[in-house]
Amino acid sequence: MDLSIIGSGYVGLVTGACFADVGHNVICVDNDARKIEALQAGKIPIYEPGLEEVIHRNVSAHRLRFSGSIQEAVDNSQIVFIAVPTPQQASGDVDLSFIEKVAREIAGVLTDYRVIVDKSTVPVKTGEKVAESIKRYNRHGAKFDVVSNPEFLREGCAIGDLMHPDRIVIGAQSERAIDLMKKVYEPFMAPILVTDINSAELIKHAANSFLALKISYINAVSAICEASGADVEKVADGIGMDRRIGRNFLNAGIGYGGSCFPKDIAAFITISEQLGVPFNLLKEVQRINGLQKERFLKTIRETLWVLREKKVAIWGLTFKPDTDDIRSSVAIDLVADMLREGAHVTAYDPKGMEKAREVKAIAEVKFASSAMEAVEGAEALVIATEWSDFANVDLAIVKAKMTTPIIFDGRNLFDPETMRQLGFRYHSIGRATVAPR
C-alpha cells in the first residue's frame, strides 16, 4: 500500500521504517528541513537499536523516502498517518496545535478520498476535533475518514514492539477505513481490536497510566520492604507469578521518566477533570513517583552526611537503557540535585552524553569516557540507568578505583550479598543495605 507519515520523530520514523519493511511504500514527512536533509543523506537523528539498518534497507529498496512536503505525501498515499509531538503545557493540558496545523494542511491539499490516521498520543475526543477541522478546511470537498490508531512501542525495543505487537487498535467509524487499516496491518499478523474513535484514544492513555500505576505500586511496596526488612525483588516475583498480575513493569527503581509516562499521566488527569470525573488515583501515582527519587536522595545524603565537595560518579543519564533519550530522565534530575548540593559529579552514559551536554541544569557535570573512568577516585557511585554494560563490569576493578567503595543502586543491578563479599557498602531499592562485616 502507499502510506505517508507526517512527523518523523520517534514514533513516525520507526513506524514508517517498519511499514516499509513489511512491503508498503512509505513517505516520511517532517517540517524540519535539516532533519529531512539528514535522513535523505542516510543520517538517523535518534539512537534506536536496529533502526538505522531497517531505514537503510528500505531506502535502498525504494520503499521508503523522506520529504518536507505534505502535499507530496497526501497526493501519493491512500492513508496519511499523523505522528507529530503532543507536548505538555504548564497547565497539564496537551498542546494539540501541531496536530491541528497538520490537519488543516492535509485538508488544504485533499482532492480524493484519504484515511487520516492519528498516531500521536492525544486526549479522548481529539479525533472529533481533527475531523471537524479537516471538514472546515476541505477546499475541494474530498471524502475522508479519520481514524485513531495509537502506538504502543517502547523506546529501546521499538522495532521489536512494532514488528510483533501485542495488539493493533483501530478506532474508526467507516467500514471503508477499517478495511484499509486492516490491510496495512495484515503483514504483522497481530490481533486487531476495532473500536470507536474515542475508545481507541482512551485505550492509549489508560494503558500508559496503568503501566505507570504498576511501577508506582511496586515502588510504594519497595518503601515498605526497606522499612520491614523484606526484599522487593522477591515480593515482585511472588506477586508477578500470578498470571492475573504478571511480573513485567514491577521493577522497583528511582521512578519512571521519559517522554511518555509523565506527560500522559498528567494529560489523563487533566482530561478526566475537564470531563467532570477526576481520576485522583493517578495523582497518587505521580506523588509516589516523585517520592521515589526523594527517598533515594535521602539515602545518599544520610550515608555521605554532606554532599558538598564529595566526588560522586553516576552511571546512566538516559531515562532507560538502549536509547539516547534524556527527556524527563530521573537520572538527569538526580545529577542536578547533587550538583545543587555542592557535589562534584562525574557522569558516564553509553549513548546519552551528547544530549546531556546541552542540559543547562547540569552544566557543571564532568563527563567521563567510560564507566571505569567515571569511578576513578569517587567517594560514591550512583547507578541511575540499567545499561547492560554496567551489569557486566568487573566490580573488583570498580572497587579498586574508588576512594570509598559506596554504591547507591537505583536499578537493583547487583546481588547485595555478592556486593558485600566484594567489600562494597551497597544501597539498593527495597532491599536491605549491606556493608562488609
Contact yes or no for 385/315 (Cβ under 8 A): yes
Residues 6+ apart with CB under 8 A from 292: 216, 219, 222, 253, 254, 255, 429
Out of 256, 296, 387, 414, name the contact with ligand UGA by CB under 6 A: 256
Q: Which of 30, 190, 173, 197 is nearest to 118 (CA)?
A: 197
Residues 6+ apart with CB under 8 A from 2: 24, 25, 76, 77, 78, 79
Q: Which span (72-80, 90-98, 253-261, 374-382) binds ligand UGA, by CB under 6 A? A: 253-261
Contact yes or no for 160/151 (Cβ under 8 A): no
Give the helix/strand (H/E) hosting 14.
Answer: helix 10-21
Q: Which span (12-20, 24-32, 134-142, 147-155) binds ligand UGA, by CB under 6 A? A: 147-155
Q: Which span (71-79, 153-161, 182-190, 302-310) binds ligand UGA, by CB under 6 A? A: 153-161
Grid coordinates given for 93: 493540558
Classified as helix, coil or strand, 4 is strand
Nearest distance from C-beta of residue 251 to ligand UGA, angstroms: 3
Beta bridge partners of 348: 315
Residue found under cell 516523585: 290
Select 221 or 260, whichever has its Cβ closest to ligand UGA: 260
Within positions 4 to 43, which residues make up the interface with ligand UGA, using CB under 6 A?
none
Per-residue interface string for the shown chain with ligand UGA, residues 316-355, x marking contact by CB under 6 A = ---xx-----------------------------------
Q: How far is CA 95 from CA 78, 84, 90, in A?
A: 28, 11, 10
Question: Is 145 near ligand UGA (CB under 6 A)?
Answer: no
Q: Which span (223-231, 249-257, 278-286, 374-382) binds ligand UGA, by CB under 6 A? A: 249-257
Question: Is 387 near ligand UGA (CB under 6 A)?
Answer: no
3-state helix, strand, coil in the chain (%, to 5): 45, 15, 40
Question: Is 408 near ligand UGA (CB under 6 A)?
Answer: no
Q: Which span (149-157, 371-379, 413-421, 422-430) binds ligand UGA, by CB under 6 A? A: 149-157
Nearest distance from C-beta of residue 311 to ligand UGA, angstroms: 26
Question: Is 258 near ligand UGA (CB under 6 A)?
Answer: yes
Question: Is 257 near ligand UGA (CB under 6 A)?
Answer: yes
Nearest distance from C-beta of residue 216 to ligand UGA, angstroms: 9
Q: Which of 18, 28, 225, 260 is catalytic?
A: 260
Question: Is 151 near ligand UGA (CB under 6 A)?
Answer: yes
Classified as helix, coil or strand, 387 is coil
Beta bridge partners of 5: 28, 81
18 phi, psi to nearest 5 deg: -75, -35
Out of 152, 185, 188, 367, name the contact with ligand UGA by CB under 6 A: 152
Nearest distance from C-beta of residue 155 to ligand UGA, angstroms: 4
Nearest distance from C-beta of residue 246 to ligand UGA, angstroms: 11
Residues 6+ apart with CB under 8 A from 152: 161, 165, 166, 167, 204, 207
Select 145 or 322, whichever has its Cβ closest to ligand UGA: 322
Q: Which of 186, 234, 213, 368 is nearest to 283 (CA)?
A: 213
Tell me how many residues contact ligand UGA (CB under 6 A). Answer: 20
Select 359 or 372, whichever has its Cβ closest to ligand UGA: 359
260 carries an active-site annotation: yes
Question: Is 253 near ligand UGA (CB under 6 A)?
Answer: yes
Question: Is 270 near ligand UGA (CB under 6 A)?
Answer: no
Identify residue 30 by its one-letter amino acid code. D
Out of 18, 260, 336, 383, name the contact with ligand UGA by CB under 6 A: 260
Out of 249, 389, 401, 433, name the contact with ligand UGA by CB under 6 A: 249
Q: What is the DSSP letter of 126?
A: H
Angle at 409 between CA 366 and CA 208, to 5 degrees: 95
Within positions 201 to 220, which residues make up the interface with ligand UGA, using CB under 6 A?
208, 211, 215
Cα(first)–Cα(last) distance of the chain, in Å?
66
Dist. CA 320–CA 258, nearest whole Å:
8
Nearest distance from C-beta of residue 429 to ligand UGA, angstroms: 10
Q: Which residues are catalytic?
A: 260
Binding site for ligand UGA (CB under 6 A): 121, 151-155, 208, 211, 215, 249-251, 253, 256-258, 260-261, 319-320
